Amino acid sequence: MFEISRVALGDLTFDVRVAGPDDGPPLVLLHGFPETGRSWEPAGRLLADAGLRVIVPDQRGYSPGARPTEVSAYTVGELVGDVLGLLDSFGIEAAHVAGHDFGAVVGWHLAAHHPDRVRTLTAVSVPHPGAYSWALQHDADQKSRSAYIKLFRMEGTAESALLDNGARRLRAMYNPMPDRAAVDEYVRVLTVPGAMTAALNWYRALTRDFRSIPSVKVPTTYVWSTADVAVGRAGAERCGEFTEADYDFVVLDDVSHWIPEEQPAALAESIRARIAG
């Protein structure tokens, strides 16, 4: 069972789910958009039962106490800094890290720039930013899949598109996610005034620094699913070119973008296998 802690990092306070033995190997799980740490609970319980100390923050913009208003507060560097601060607050020198969707982006940057703090990385859905950037430039399929990002960067317009009519379009984004209780939780969080803008600010703060990061030199697993509507095969298959340590590419056939909710057991097993080396 997860317990909710509140962790103060400077002026911000993060809601953090924690489970597993206090002396277990630490594992930080990072959620994506438009989710919360709730997305990791099914896989996280399995990993905690396997003896890991599982730490799952509601990240910047998703925790009510960590919701600054300016776009510049949501750069990837700030998001990585939050994870480093979280590790420090728990007294952790280095942790295993897994991230899904935009949480994978944070994981890639963390591992690339702070390899001393990351024991292993499991990236879910989104490949290394270098591979993703290549696909955006050279693969027509990925360009089409990523068209939504232009909308997300449009202040006001994106909020209205997702939240109007009882958040109908936001709810539609989660299909075919099987956990409807999770969907209700995500919608509840993101319909609080200011929350959707904060979540979308992750996209609005993107710069070229998002793409231009070094190869990762920690043991890495990348998990991709063939029915992902947001990430195509071209970037996924190129991901390994941006890793310089032991690397595994796990493909889940006929699974949607929502891997943590749809296939928690398979995902937990991939993370455990990476940690075991």
**Domain boundary assignment for the chain:** 3-276
Query: Residue 184 catalytic?
Result: no
Contact 61, 199 (CB under 8 A): yes
The C-alpha atoms of residue 223 and residue 229 are separated, in whole angstroms, by: 15
Query: Residue 253 catalytic?
Result: no
- Residue holding tokens 């609970």? 41
The C-alpha atoms of residue 202 and residue 35 are separated, in whole angstroms, by: 13
CATH topology of domain 3-276: Rossmann fold (3.40.50)
pLDDT digits 0-9 by tens, 59-111: 999 999 999 999 999 999 999 999 999 999 999 999 999 999 999 999 999 99
Contacts with 130 (C-beta within 8 Å, 6 or more apart), sequence order: 211, 212, 213, 215, 241, 242
Q: Of these residues, 15, 58, 101, 179, which one is catalytic? A: 101
64-79 in b/e form (b: 16+ CB < 10 A) is eebbeeebebbbbebb
Higher pLDDT, 211 or 185: 185
Contact 170, 192 (CB under 8 A): no
pLDDT interval class at 181 (50, 70, 90):
very high
- Range name among 201-210, 216-225, 246-255 with the lowest pLDDT average: 201-210
Cα-flanking dihedrals φ and ψ of residue 196, to 5°? Answer: -65, -40
Predicted pLDDT of residue 207? 82
Query: Residue 174 catalytic?
Result: no
Q: What is the mean pLDDT of residues 27-55?
A: 98
pLDDT digits 0-9 by tens, 208-225: 666 779 999 999 999 999
Q: Of these residues, 15, 203, 222, 228, which one is catalytic? A: 203
Predicted pLDDT of residue 209? 66
Say what the pTM is: 0.98
Predicted pLDDT of residue 212? 79
